[in-house]
Structure 1
Amino acid sequence: MSDYLDHFAAHAERFMPKQRKPRAPKVVTSDADAPLKPTAMEQAQRDKGTLLASFKRTKKAEHEAMLASEHGAAYGRMMEIVKRLPDSAVELVKNLGKGWINALSAKQKDTVLSMISARIIRVREMDGRTPFDDPLPGEPDNLFIICRKIIQGF
């Protein structure tokens, strides 16, 4: 029986992790051995990338919260219209004028206006135009100004 236990102990020792001495911290003796530190420009790019990723997560969460709210169906229909811009501009104004927008909270209204604005900017950039083109006094309002007036209630 003792022979069996010795054999078992020998077998178990083979599979046990070996005790190692803790590693001493590596002493950097040359620039080649030193870890790379990003330049100021590279760090700024990383920071911007991190902020952009955070912004996109926030916008996606706002969009999903709107779809899950009690006004989610109306918001979803509006987003389908927004996806078809610029061909659906008149339909968008009619949809916003139906009154469902008045039942939204201020934060929800901001989310709706933000989604419309982002799509208008994307369409303008795809057409090779500047992202923003607010009309001068005396000129007719553009789609964004019209939507903002409807959403904010003036």
Structure 2
Amino acid sequence: LELSEAGHSLAPDRDRLWAGDTRHPTLIVGLEVPREELERRIEERTHAMFEAGVQDEVRRALEQPISQTARQALGLEELATLSPEDAEAAIILRTRRYASYQRKWMRRISGLVSLDADRPPGEVADEILEVARTRQRLPAGQAG
């Protein structure tokens, strides 16, 4: 606990995740969407959560014993302490920041293949398979 409170980790290599070679042939694909589209999707999903009654779900969850990890879930604190309108705005902002952090983290992964995901899923899947075939020198039509 003291290490955690001081900001240290028991897993000192955790920041080096994906930094070295993998034990097996590995293809790491990052799916990218334009920032504006990602932000639009975050807003849309957050609005949908509120329309579906996320406030009641959180209220019921907080009536039960809840782990420290679960208490850190994005949006839980906002829903427990703010008005619904303020909570929604705060969750959108916090989710955007988290998405930005994830994008920066992904860019540090050595060998990452970034693909445009702002298109039909079938096209994205076909491109992933083509990259895999090229990297593994597999015959056409086989995914590996």
Bigger relative CO (Cα 8 Å, ≥ 6 apart) = 2
Richer in helix (by share): 1
Q: Which protein is bigger by CA-based radius of gyration? A: 1
